[in-house]
Amino acid sequence: MTPDIESAFAAEIDRFLDEHWPGPLFRRVSPAAWEAAANRWFAALYRRGWSVPAWPQAYGGTGWSLERRFVWERAVALADAPIMDPAGVGLVGPLVQAHGSAALCERYLEDIRAARSRWAIGLSGLSMDDEGLRARRRGADYALCGTLTGIAGLGRATHALCLAAMDGGGSGVFTLSTTSDGVDLVDTQTLAFAEAQADLLSPPGAGLDALDAVLWGSQAPLAVTARVEAQLVRIRDGLAAIADGCGGYLDADADFKRRLSGLEVRLGSLRVLEARSLADRCAGEQRLGACGVKAGMLALGCADLERQLGELRIDAAGYYALPQPDPLLTDNEGPIGPGYALRPLEGMLTPLWALEAHRRLLAVQLAG
């Protein structure tokens, strides 16, 4: 991409963000206001055809080059704009495209692209005992039995992606509605299955391999450090206004500034790794070998850095920190306390499904 084309594309993105996103919401807003703004943003992306830029054009993608995708992802992250459902767009969509029938593509893809579905991810079904999740053939379909724990994003999910052991050996990736017959909600992270019909989205017995191919494949995120960078910048810029709880402000707290500087140093090293990973992918290297390990280390490093950043934001928020947006604050009442305390755990919670998957699959890959 030439400098002139790159500049014009970046300017187009800036205009779109200015028109459809109110800017970084590192301030006091109610959960209802945030969700309304996010829904308007998703609708604008869908109308423009930019909701799933990494997908093939045949399924509604943009056809952008890797360089353009990187520019887009970084601009959106630095603007603190919400991302489309990462589980639906990043895992379910590519799996359906690779292994689903035409009927499954019609059933799932458009709802993901239009942000009409929300996906939970459960990858802990491969238990070593009989308490995990098992899949067995039931005629032409599959039925899930057992219990699946540690599910990320289950609270408001309409569908779930599950990794289950198969009676014939190996594993499989399955999808189903959270309201399907035979599916019971045990708690906010657990589902129980009793002969629940599910769709298979991997070759039989090769569930881990299918997930591996998606996580390191052509649709994997490129600008993975930008969202962490944006949060670090906002904390750094706001130190003079953040009270330390002792009558002073955090810009005078040497220990807090030392911890923040340490995270910035780690971010710098991850940005170097990100640039090398992008160069590998632009050069057409395959996901296997050093390129895949490099991408995996980058994903794990960013997820861990985001977790540490969440801890730092909790410390900054003090007793105002909320583990999640209060469901009672859904109308005209905002939260009590400083704006930076509204979503202190967001950076710790959102990447957990990816962190679990990357750790599992990277360990398998490194072990050869």
* Tens digit of each residue's pLDDT (9 = 90 or more) over 207-231: 988 988 888 788 888 898 998 898 8
Q: What is the pLDDT of residue 2?
A: 62
Q: What is the pLDDT of residue 351?
A: 43
Lowest mean pLDDT among 40-44, 187-191, 303-307: 303-307
pLDDT digits (tens, 9 = 90+) for 61-85: 999 999 999 999 999 999 989 889 9
Q: What is the pLDDT of residue 48?
A: 96
The answer on 149 and 272 residing in a single domain is no
The answer on 231 and 183 residing in a single domain is no
Instruction: For the beta carbon of residue 7, count every other beta carbon within 10 angstroms.
Output: 11
Q: Is residue 101 part of a domain?
A: no
The answer on 344 and 299 residing in a single domain is yes
The answer on 51 and 169 residing in a single domain is no
In the predicted model, is pLDDT for residue 289 greater than 70? no
How would residue 347 be classed by pLDDT, with cut points 50, 70 and 90? very low
Q: What is the pLDDT of residue 242?
A: 65
Q: What is the pLDDT of residue 51?
A: 96
Using the 3D structure, point to which of 28, 57, 84 is the last residue of a domain: 84
In total, how many domains does the chain have? 3
Q: Is residue 233 part of a domain?
A: yes
Residue 225 near residue 302, CB atoms below 8 Å: yes
Structure tokens at 241: 């206004």
The answer on 189 and 153 residing in a single domain is yes
Structure tokens at 205: 């017995």
- Whether the CA torsion 287, 292, 296, 298 is positive or negative: it is negative
Q: Is residue 109 part of a domain?
A: no
How would residue 146 be classed by pLDDT, with cut points 50, 70 and 90? very high
pLDDT digits (tens, 9 = 90+) for 240-283: 666 655 656 777 778 888 988 999 999 999 999 999 888 888 87
Query: What is the share, in percent, of the chain residues with pLDDT greater than 90?
Result: 41
The answer on 335 and 244 residing in a single domain is yes
Euclidean distance between CA atoms 118 and 85, whole angstroms: 7
Backbone angles phi, psi at 114, to 5 degrees: -95, 5
Torsion of CA 153, 154, 157, 162, to 10 degrees: 90
The answer on 353 and 240 residing in a single domain is yes
The answer on 334 and 277 residing in a single domain is yes
Q: Which residue has the higher pLDDT, 166 or 26?
A: 166
Euclidean distance between CA atoms 135 and 131, whole angstroms: 13
The CATH number that applies at residue 293 is 1.20.140.10
Lowest mean pLDDT among 105-114, 178-187, 245-254: 245-254
Query: What is the share, in percent, of the chain residues with pLDDT greater than 70?
Result: 76
Q: What is the pLDDT of residue 241?
A: 67
How much is the average pLDDT of 113-136? 82
The answer on 308 and 201 residing in a single domain is no
In the predicted model, is pLDDT for residue 110 greater than 90? yes
Give this prediction's pTM: 0.81
Using the 3D structure, point to which of 205, 240, 258 is the last residue of a domain: 205
- Cβ-Cβ contacts under 8 Å for 308 (sequence gap 6 or more): 263
Q: Is residue 64 part of a domain?
A: yes
Q: Is residue 61 part of a domain?
A: yes
Q: Is residue 210 part of a domain?
A: no
- The mean of the pLDDT values for the chain is 80
Lowest mean pLDDT among 36-40, 218-222, 315-319: 315-319
Q: Which residue has the higher pLDDT, 104 or 23?
A: 104
The answer on 174 and 68 residing in a single domain is no
Q: Is residue 34 part of a domain?
A: yes
Q: Is residue 44 part of a domain?
A: yes
Q: Is 271 left (phi over 0), alpha (psi -120 to 50) or beta?
A: alpha
Q: What is the pLDDT of residue 246?
A: 62
Q: Domain span at residue 249?
A: 224-367
- Cβ-Cβ contacts under 8 Å for 258 (sequence gap 6 or more): none
Q: Which residue has the higher pLDDT, 140 or 347?
A: 140
The answer on 273 and 358 residing in a single domain is yes
